[in-house]
Amino acid sequence: MPRLLEIENLRTQFFTSAGTVRAVDGISYNVDEGEAAAIVGESGCGKSVSALSILRLIPDPPGRIVDGSIRFKGIDLLQLSDVEIRRVRGRRIAMVFQEPMTSLNPVLTIGLQLTETLTHHLGMTKEAARARAVELMGMVGISDPERRLSQYPHHFSGGMRQRVMIAMALCCEPELIIADEPTTALDVTIQAQILELMKDLTRRLGVALIIITHNLGVVARYADRVHVMYAGKIIEQGTARQIYHEPGHPYTIGLLHSVPRLDQPRKEKLAPIEGQPPDLARLDEGCAFRPRCRYAVERCATEIPPLEDMGDGHYSACWEKDKLPQPQRAAS
């Protein structure tokens, strides 16, 4: 598959009174056309900021992309003018946010919000846009679309609002959709519906997907390639199978041991990662995970481990990556 997006050494920082927060600290990854990539990590690891950086949606001040390049089909998005990037947003790269309530305007009808994108980006007439909106609503599984277009966001349930957001993301037939925790606010059965819908539509329309989540189950079910983030850096990259069955970073191993399994009876207590994630404004030298790492050696305190290939496109940023014990997860 040809490359769609190439992110190289991206650095996004926030300049606050408490100091410079290195929210995204030199990350690089690629997304192929039609691929479903996942960015996994916990609160404050920089995963959302990395996604917002792609569309240059970082509020400035206090934030700024200080370094790196984001090449989308050969165009460096960071070099575009404000007018040019606006033609990319929503048109070629669309975004689905976590909170369907706050990302829809409560005083405008669903129809207006959906057709606005179409008339703005594609220059459709109002009638044509409305017809397309009806079609899109049907596509995302909203029944009686004609009537529902004249309703307001508060008439819709959380799951239905997220379907509207997906319809909005799809309306200009983008090449890439970035979904930032698209189902975190939803119940598990609605989550399954929405993710299944996104997977089905992106596969069918050949749209690439970057899904940002903290839920390891969602990643296992829907992602081809996984990028694990910790303290502003990607610490492990690989296929979902590599990440879950041969994790090459102590943090990934820790995460996998922290989640109870639905499909297995309880065997023993969970093995959590001790301690707290670091303050991104006050990072020490060396590996950011070191204070919580049970495999740390002396070198970890002084030198930051680079992201290195372990073979088969599986990358890990750990000095001890070859010595880590493999979890006994039956690959049944």
Contact residues for other proteins, defined by CB under 8 A: 42-43, 157, 159-160, 187-193, 195-196, 214-222, 240-241, 244-245, 254-263, 265-266, 269-274, 276-277, 329, 331-332
Q: Describe the crossing of helices 110-122 and 158-170 by its angle, rounded to 10 degrees.
A: 10
Quick one: which of 188, 146, 175, 145 has its CA closest to 163? Answer: 145
Alpha-carbon gap, residue 106 to 205, rounded angstroms: 30
Query: What is the nearest approach in angstroms of other proteins to the Cβ of residue 246?
Result: 12
Task: Tell me the chain's radius of gyration from C-alpha atoms.
Answer: 21
Handedness of CA 147, 98, 32, 116 (dihedral sign): positive
Handedness of CA 315, 318, 320, 326 (dihedral sign): negative
Query: What is the nearest approach in angstroms of other proteins to the Cβ of residue 219?
Result: 7
Query: What is the nearest approach in angstroms of other proteins to the Cβ of residue 200?
Result: 11
Quick one: which of 237, 243, 251, 323 has its CA closest to 287? Answer: 251
Taking the least distance from each CB to other proteins, the nearer of 137 and 240 is 240
Query: What is the nearest approach in angstroms of other proteins to the Cβ of residue 316?
Result: 18
Taking the least distance from each CB to other proteins, the nearer of 29 and 251 is 251
Taking the least distance from each CB to other proteins, the nearer of 58 and 194 is 194
Taking the least distance from each CB to other proteins, the nearer of 93 and 165 is 165
Taking the least distance from each CB to other proteins, the nearer of 208 and 240 is 240
Other Cβ atoms less than 10 A from the Cβ of 244: the count is: 18
Taking the least distance from each CB to other proteins, the nearer of 93 and 255 is 255
Quick one: which of 274, 104, 67, 96 has its CA closest to 201? Answer: 96
